[in-house]
Structure 1
Amino acid sequence: MDFMELFFSSLGAAVVVYYGVKLLLFSRMLFPKRWFPLSKTFFISMGEWAVVTGASEGIGRAYAFALAERGMNVVIMSRTKETLNQVAKEIGETTGQRVKVIVTDFTKENVFSEIEDQLKDLNIGVLVNNVGMLPSVIPCRFLDSADLDQIITKVINCNVKTMAKMCKIILPGMENRGKGVIVNISSGIASIPFPLYSMYAASKVFVERFSQGLQAEYKAKGIIIQAVAPFGISTRMAAYQKPNIVTLSPEDFVKSSLQYLRAGDKTNGSVCHTVLDWLLQSIPLKILYAEYLLHILQDYVKKRTALKAPIST
């Protein structure tokens, strides 16, 4: 009897310690400036240039501005030349930093040799792999997607292949210099298998696992590699929903997310999205996968937007 009492007492103490440690680690996410401080020269100490994919609008544009405001020259990449040129002009006039524009369509094949040629002479300290493609902003079942064969290829090229290829191009220079930062943009919906966004969510799981694996491989080299998984951001992908406590503006989200660079190999980029991630993973999947909830999700998004075409940034 004494042994059983000792066993259960020890087990109870272990559970208390376990959850106490988890609570402490979670509480750190509420105060990133205190727990994960960055010096004013942190970004420019990584290198002279930052590279941002999908930088013509939304989160990518906000990252490009934020890094330029912190003293870095920036390379902005997307498929829309006119918009990129306008963003480059605005960054240059606002920050005084140099901006290099590379026009490319990441849904296509064989675009990376030209990109590598244009980046080879730059001292790149930060890479933000932001470009991504949502097959349809209206949630739908896998087989209901229009032009499914093309969509599969484009999603894999844009959301999966591009991130790996950009890391292949830029990571060797960081390894040689013993410093650098790579931020790979995932999505909060990758926290669970997500019906009606199955392919998009699965592609973002790759982003997270790839980032976490690379961080384990290259952390000792002085390189920070982090997956950032936001929920609602007021961008074209989210039909420009009005910012609120849950749906953040791209600028506010990026400002917040950069404070978490030393917080681990994956973050949600903000306090509210960290809480949302915890809540999502706490709900039983049987409830989330109920047919009536899936219909509610579809109806809600349809009311929010009339967009039905593939969305990419």
Structure 2
Amino acid sequence: PLLCECGGVVVRVRLVVAATQGESDSKQLSPCNRNDLASVGLKFVIHSPKAEYRCTMEMWEFIGKVAVALFIARIGWSLLKGVFGSFLAAAIRLNIDVKKTGEWAVVTGATDGIGRAYAFELARLGLKVVLVSRNPFKLQNVAAEINSKYGVDTKIIDVDFTKEDIYERLESEVGKLDVGVLVNNVGMSYDFPEYFTDISDCQEMCDRLINCNIKSLTHMTRIVLPGMVERKRGVIMNLSSLSSIIPAPLLAVYGATKAYVQSFSVSLAAEIASKGVTVQCVMPGFVVSNMSRIRRPTLMAPTPTAYVKSTLRTVGIEKCTAGYFMHKIQVYFIEVAKMHFPGWILTHIVFSQLKAFRTRGHKKKEKEAKTE
């Protein structure tokens, strides 16, 4: 077999070779010779196993270089998007100015953690704030502090989102307001990670989780969205969690409720994008809060105020965001792990961590029981 090049294209041709003693196989060609083939533009390349092996290795080397280049480009692009969304977009005012969306902001779960930080930051920006939570005393304290600090009007509504008979009241008090921003922040989790079959009062616990984490944002959106669509302006921010994009063994129901938040937000955002209303899914990692039981801020666990300031810079830029730059890096590495490693590896890592938290939770519970 011989390789021939014609017009820049290399082809393999089979010739009948008649070898004679003392002469090279390549010199006796029948039915034609090299000169005849050269006259029609064919250039011979002698084929050999070594040359073919070298060609194959060069091909795989090229493919490897392309794969590495694409991987590096992906990392660079993700980093660029993170920097742009977290810092540059707001600096050049590409994000949405929430002050122009309406007169009022409604924040659920407004007395602690991220919800409280949203209430204060939106008040600082000049919006009147409806504070919704279950503890009337905490609500009064937060409202008084906002009034004192920023001089904006507040309205408090004390309801328990684990109940189902609260939405008629909410609709009567919120439905007619010029609501520009809705922050669906209220949520709850397990006391500590636990096997689904070992959850005490499992039915009641599941109902509470579903009511608080799923029905709350669904019905609050139902109440507020028609007015936003009518006015052709508004922002809805739904608080999910990083647990919505990873397996959450021992937090199965909680993780599922947060996955609902993400799916609902992304789908609704597409539905109403043409109506002037923005829907954003926010997926925080750990922050300093009662729920996380983290007391001091770190690089990976900021204060609620720092987290909210960072997240508000992404409104209108990122439809689904981790909000805080270091949390975005966490999301990126989670996505890389899901793409390049078997799913059981990530599940095993998370499962092992949550088992440790479960053990600590049981020890604490036993200690408290002995104290009582």
Q: TM-score, normalised by structure 1?
A: 0.88
Distance of 1:86 and 1:307 partners within structure 2: 34
- Report the CA distance between 1:26 and its aligned residue: 3.6
Show the 5 A alignment for 1:165-244: 165-244=219-298
Deviations 1:166-203 (A, max 9, x none): 11110111111111100000011111121111111110
SS of structure 1 residue aligned to 2:291: helix
Structure 1, unaligned runs of 5 or more: none
Match of 1:111 in 2: 166
> What amino acid sits opposite 1:164 in the alignment?
T
- Aligned residue pairs total 306
Q: Distance in 1 between matches of 2:102 and 2:277?
A: 12
The SS at the match of 1:246 is coil
Instruction: Name the residue aligned to 1:261.
Output: 315
- CA separation in 2, counterparts of 1:125 and 1:72? 9
Whether 2:146 is the aligned partner of 1:91: answer yes
Unaligned regions of 5+ residues in structure 2, if any?
1-8, 12-54
Q: 2:94·2:317 contact (CA, 8 Å) conserved in 1?
A: no
- Report 1 or 2 for greater relative contact order, CA contacts < 8 Å, sequence distance ≥ 6: 1
Does structure 1 retain, via aligned residues, the 8 Å contact 2:193–2:355? no
- The residue type equivalent to 1:130 in the other structure is N
Partner deviation per Cα, 1:134-162 (whole Å, 9 max, x = no partner): 122x1111121111100111111110011
Give runs of aligned pairs for residues 20-31 of structure 1, distance below 5 A.
20=73, 23-31=76-84
CA distance in 2, matches of 1:89, 1:307: 39
- Secondary structure at 2:313 match in 1: helix
Q: Which residue of 1 aligns with 2:123?
A: 68
Rg (Cα) greater in structure: 2
Per the alignment, residue 14 of structure 2 pairs with none
Q: Please give the alpha-carbon distance, in whole angstroms, between the structure 2 residues aligned to 1:90 and 1:270.
A: 26
Higher mean Cα deviation, 180-189 or 283-292? 283-292
Stretch moving more, 7-16 or 215-224: 7-16
TM-score (norm 2): 0.74
Equivalent residue number for residue 129 of structure 1: 184
User: How big is the shift at 1:296?
Assistant: 3.0
Indicate conservation of the 8 Å contact 1:212/1:227, yes or no.
Answer: yes
RMSD of equivalent CA atoms: 3.0
Percent identity over paired residues: 35
Q: Distance in 2 between matches of 1:160 and 1:209?
A: 11
Q: Does 1:162 align with 2:216?
A: yes
| Residue of structure 2 in register with 1:298 after alignment | 358
Does 2:97 correspond to 1:45?
no
CA distance in 1 between partners of 2:63 and 2:95 (Å): 46
